[in-house]
Amino acid sequence: MNANPEKPVLISGNWKMNENHFEALRLVQELAALLHLPNGEKVLPDSVTVSVHPPFTSIRTVQTAIESDHVPVFLGAQNCHYIDKGAYTGEVSPDMLAKLGVQYVITGHSERREYFLETDEIVRKKTDAILRHGMHPILCVGETLEERNAGEAHKKVRTQLQAIFSGRSTEEALRVVVAYEPIWAIGTGMTATASDAEDMCAYIREEIGQLVGPEAADGIPIQYGGSANEQNSAELLSQKNINGLLVGGASLDAKKFVTICCSIR
């Protein structure tokens, strides 16, 4: 299935707690080699934007490699605190990330909600802080398998969206990327069918229309995440309301990740 090569898409690689800084350097160099053809021809389609999200310990290394080798990817992070500085042992602030040239920060990932007890309230504060520092939040929403089987998937996603988008201006909302990540599909190899993913992404757009307005609904990029790979990416990206992918496991393999990034051709 061919996706529309004109539609702008954002493909983000969430490296999670993988790749020490030696490995991260190797991975970004592999990406550089795959994204630069010897004849200078561009590999990425014009409509594709790519971000990579290494662990904090590798952000500086990856930033330096991206800049010195002109790798056509944006720098991302997986999390941050919502306060700019202070006595918060072990935390990393949005200001620190912005100073490193980070452009995209994942917020509300289900692993953070589940293992680090992040509530919608915390996710809202983080989203606000990321926006305040001129970066783009990638806001993750999604339901568990139990919630889906109980017919409560839409309700869960609506609650998560309300917490972040209520009272938000169109201008701010348009700087947020929403990632629909059904929790049962993350790291399990069980991808949502393209039509289930499309159905929820269309619903997310509709809800943002209700919460913010039609301009935000039309313009906001919505990614799908959860076992996205080089085999299912083209079909997922061909869906009307899917504007990108948040890729975990498959982003650790440079060849697979670049195949995903190029799958709208």
Shortest Cβ 67–ligand PGA spacing (Å): 25
Two structure tokens written together for 105: 């920060």
Could you tell me if 125 and 82 are in contact, meaning their C-beta atoms sit under 8 angstroms apart?
Answer: yes
66 or 141, CB closer to ligand PGA?
A: 141
Shortest Cβ 141–ligand PGA spacing (Å): 12
Given 147, 181, 207, 230, the catalytic residue? 181
Given 81, 109, 133, 136, the catalytic residue? 109
Shortest Cβ 86–ligand PGA spacing (Å): 29
12 or 93, CB closer to ligand PGA?
A: 12
Active site residue 109: yes
Shortest Cβ 172–ligand PGA spacing (Å): 23
The three-class DSSP label of residue 179 is strand
How far is CA 59 from each of CA 19, 54, 224, rounded to the nearest angstrom?
11, 6, 24
| Residues comprising the chain, all counted | 265
Closest residue to ligand PGA, judged by C-beta, is 248
Fill in the amino acid letter for 84. Answer: D
Q: How far apart are CA 4 and CA 22, in angstroms?
A: 37
19 or 181, CB closer to ligand PGA?
A: 181
DSSP string, 194-260: HHHHHHHHHHHHHHHHHHT-HHHHHH--EEEESS--TTTHHHHHTSTT--EEEESGGGGSHHHHHHH
14 or 93, CB closer to ligand PGA?
A: 14
Q: How far apart are CA 213 and CA 205, in angstroms?
A: 10
Shortest Cβ 24–ligand PGA spacing (Å): 17
Two structure tokens written together for 31: 């990406």
Binding site for ligand PGA (CB under 6 A): 14, 181, 186-187, 225-228, 246-249
65 or 179, CB closer to ligand PGA?
A: 179
- β-bridge mates for residue 107, sequence order: 139
Q: Give the catalytic positions in this structure.
A: 109, 181
